[in-house]
Amino acid sequence: MNSLSVAYRSGGREVPVVHEVSLETAAGRTLALVGESGSGKSTLAAALLGHLRHGSRVTGGSVTVDGRDVLALPARELRRLRGRTVAMVAQNAGQALTPSMRVGRQIEEAGGDIPVTDLLDQVRLPRPAELARRYPHELSGGQQQRVALAMAIAARPKVLVLDEPTTGLDVVTQRGVLDLIAALRDELGLAAVLVSHDLGVVAHLADEVCVLKSGRVVESAPTRQLFALPRSRTPSGCWRACRGWTTPASLSYGRRVSARSARGPSCPRTLRSPFRPGTSPSTTAAPVPCTGSPSRSGAVRSSPWSASRAAASPLWPGHWRDCVRRPAAP
- Per-10-residue mean pLDDT of the chain, 330 residues long, equals 88 85 91 88 88 85 89 88 88 85 92 90 93 94 92 92 87 90 93 89 91 88 85 62 45 39 37 47 51 37 36 54 50
pLDDT score at 151: 93
Query: Would you say residue 75 lies in a domain?
Result: yes
How many helices (H) and strands (E) the chain has is answered by 12, 16
Going by C-alpha positions, the residue among 1, 60, 29 that lies closest to residue 186 is 29
Q: Are 214 and 310 in contact (CB under 8 A)?
A: no
Eight-state DSSP code of residue 106 = H
Residue 215 confidence (pLDDT): 87
Secondary structure E strands in the chain: 2-10, 13-21, 30-35, 56-62, 64-65, 68-69, 86-89, 159-163, 191-195, 208-213, 216-222, 288-294, 300-303, 313-316, 319-321, 324-325
Cα 45–chain centre separation: 7
pLDDT value, residue 191: 94
Query: Does 173 reside within a domain?
Result: yes
Residue 310 lies in a domain: no
- How many structural domains is the chain composed of? 1
HEC secondary structure over 246-259: CCHHHCCCCCCCCH
- Beta-carbon neighbour count of residue 92 at 10 Å? 16
Is residue 264 included in any domain, yes or no?
no
Residue pair 154/119 in contact by the 8 Å Cβ criterion? yes
What pLDDT is recorded for position 328? Answer: 43
**C-alpha dist (Å) from residue 142 to 30, 127, 160, 250, 312:** 21, 15, 19, 26, 41
Give the domain CATH number at 12: 3.40.50.300
Q: What distances in angstroms separate CA 107 from CA 42, 135, 209, one per listed residue?
A: 24, 12, 31
In the beta sheet, which residues pair with residue 210? Answer: 33, 220
pLDDT of residue 307: 37
Is the residue at 243 inside a domain? Answer: no
Regarding beta strands 2-10 and 13-21, do their DSSP bridges make them parallel or antiparallel, or are they unpaired?
antiparallel
Closest by Cα among 123, 183, 180, 190 to 150: 123
- Please say whether the beta carbons of 212 and 39 come within 8 A: yes
287 assigned to some structural domain: no
What single-letter DSSP state applies at residue 265? T
CA distances for 302 relative to 20, 196, 218, 317, 328, angstroms? 18, 30, 13, 17, 21
Please indicate, yes or no, if residue 25 is contained in any of the structural domains: yes
DSSP for 139-175, written as a single string? S-HHHHHHHHHHHHHTT--SEEEEESTTTT--HHHHH
**Distance of alpha carbon 86 from alpha carbon 75, whole angstroms:** 15
Q: Which domain holds residue 141?
A: 2-209
Instruction: Please count the CA atoms within 13 angstroms of the CA of 124 that sit on its side-chain side.
Output: 11
The length of the chain in residues reads 330
* Contact assessment for residue 234 and residue 265, using Cβ atoms and an 8 Å cutoff: no
Whether 12 is in a domain gets the answer: yes
